[in-house]
Amino acid sequence: MLLFGLLGFSAGLPFYMFSTVLALRLQAHGVALAIIGFFAWVQLLPTLKFLWAPLLDRFDVPGFGRFWGKRPGWIMLAQLGIFTAMVAMAFTASDASLAVTALFAVLLAFWTTTLEVAADAWRIELAPTAEQQGPVAAATLWGYRTAMVAAGSGALVIADMPAWGWTGAYLAIAIAAFLPFPILAAMRPGEGAGGGRAVALATGLAATLAILLAVLAATAALGWALLALASGVGLDGSANVTPYVLAVAMLPFVAMAAALPRIRRARADNPLRTSTAIGPYVDFFWRYGYAAITVMAFVAIYRMGDVLALYLSKPMIKGLGYSLTDIGIADSYVALIASMVGVGIGGWMAARWPRGRTLLIGALAAALGNFAFVWLAHQPVGTLPLFVATAADQFGNGLAGAVFVVYLSLLVNPRFAGAQYAFLSGWAFLLPRLLAGAGGQVVERIGWDAFFLASGVVSLAAILFLPAIVRAWPREDDR
């Protein structure tokens, strides 16, 4: 429980720094709301983690993996990646070049996601049943949300201090994010570990430097190509990107429907199922068959309201007249207590109640959190309304998040724990984060009230899937 609380804390600290805090930082520098919305697409990295998750299942990090084990080795590499990316964001905090800001935000999101993939795989391997997953998932989310609150509130309060500003805020969170690394380095070696700790650490650090530089170069090259492509087709802050986003979001559903007949007929020795790259994902569709489409649709919209509210709620609150310090205080103990209560209740329900009932309550709680922002927008600026809206939002997010993590974990085949959980948890946020990128333009057209009302209604729409979801069971593995 303590271990996974620590791992949750490690993953939660950077998240606000490339999402909500970054949105407020861009707003402070006069960046247009539509462009701020585009930066929400940095959060697509966690949804695409299935692209590199199989590498974490198959390969070890040199030095780290040999001595501490596969999962801890990847976690240590990711921690170093998080630290260096956040330091880079600190020293480019003027946002003089939005392309450079985007580069380091993407790197921070990539390494944060890599840490989550390794930690999730480890959690599923060590706690494969619902009774075990409930408490461990709750511990992970407690750590994760505690860190998010610490990063969000702490960074905003520091950023509001003239002597520190945004550079000081990012440096402070970078140092805090690095603290778990020495704790992991002091852990006892994994089974079959050879060589000494110092040699393993030195080898791991050398390998990490090479990997970090390679990922930086690849990200910069890909980013340059994507920006050139967007410019070439006329996509900028004035273009209506919503139709493009919806079209892209529909493609995976079309591809799944087309591939399912062939996947269902595939035998155990079929290359589709034995492939290292796609085998873990084909296995999910083979086991669930056509019910997989319903499951994936449910997974895609269950957390949509949370995601849409997360990225744009803080700019809305700032626009109402609250200071960064006001927002930071509300995001400290108020958000922490409400979130931990929600996570605790959600984990308890997921371990003891039928999954349909827990998912229903989670959807209701998440929707109420979104509706709270509509209520806040019509209240006089004051401490109490801000605290009430923040508490409602964080309680709903915590409860829905806990029951959802357990649900996703139980969908996974333990033989492909890392890859399949990365795929499902990434898919859960693909459509919401695609739409969040167009959120700034949507708000400019329909206003804040309609935006948060619509996002809450989407959370409630997940309830319509529950009768089919509770009857979706996998067939037995034939291997």
CB 158 within 8 A of CB 168: yes
Maximal CA-CA distance, the chain = 65
pLDDT class of 190 with cuts at 50, 70, 90: low
pLDDT at 101 over 80: yes
Going by C-beta distance under 8 Å and a sequence separation of 6 or more, which residues neighbour residue 291? 468, 471, 472, 473
Q: What is the dihedral of CA 262, 264, 265, 270, to 10 degrees?
A: 80
For residue 242, the model assigns a pLDDT of 58
For residue 315, the model assigns a pLDDT of 84
For residue 239, the model assigns a pLDDT of 56
pLDDT at 81 over 90: yes
For residue 236, the model assigns a pLDDT of 58
Mean pLDDT, rounded, for 23-33: 85
Q: pLDDT tens digits, residue range 86-95?
A: 999 999 998 8
Mean pLDDT, rounded, for 291-308: 87
Q: pLDDT tens digits, residue range 326-370?
A: 888 887 778 888 988 998 899 899 888 998 999 999 999 999 989
pLDDT at 260 over 60: yes
Structure tokens at 226: 């994507």
Mean pLDDT, rounded, for 204-220: 93
pLDDT class of 192 with cuts at 50, 70, 90: low
Among residues 365, 64, 71, 105, which one has the least CA distance to residue 204? 64
Neighbours of 361 (CB within 10 A): 17
- φ/ψ (deg, to 5) at 269: -95, 5
175 SS3 class: helix
What is the H or E stretch that residue 479 is in?
none
pLDDT at 256 over 60: yes
Place of tokens 């791991």: 204
Structure tokens at 193: 């570990």
pLDDT class of 298 with cuts at 50, 70, 90: very high
Q: pLDDT averaged over the chain?
A: 84
Highest-pLDDT range among 313-322, 332-341, 390-399: 390-399
Give the per-residue SS3 of 99-142.
HHHHHHHHHHHHHHHHHHHHHHHHHHHHCCCHHHHHHHHHHHHH
Neighbours of 397 (CB within 10 A): 30
For residue 363, the model assigns a pLDDT of 93
pLDDT class of 7 with cuts at 50, 70, 90: confident
CB 433 within 8 A of CB 306: no
Among residues 252, 235, 253, which one has the least CA distance to residue 244? 235
Which of these CATH numbers, 3.40.50.300, 1.10.1740.10, 1.20.1250.20, 3.40.47.10, describes 2-469?
A: 1.20.1250.20
DSSP string, 238-251: TS--HHHHHHHHHH
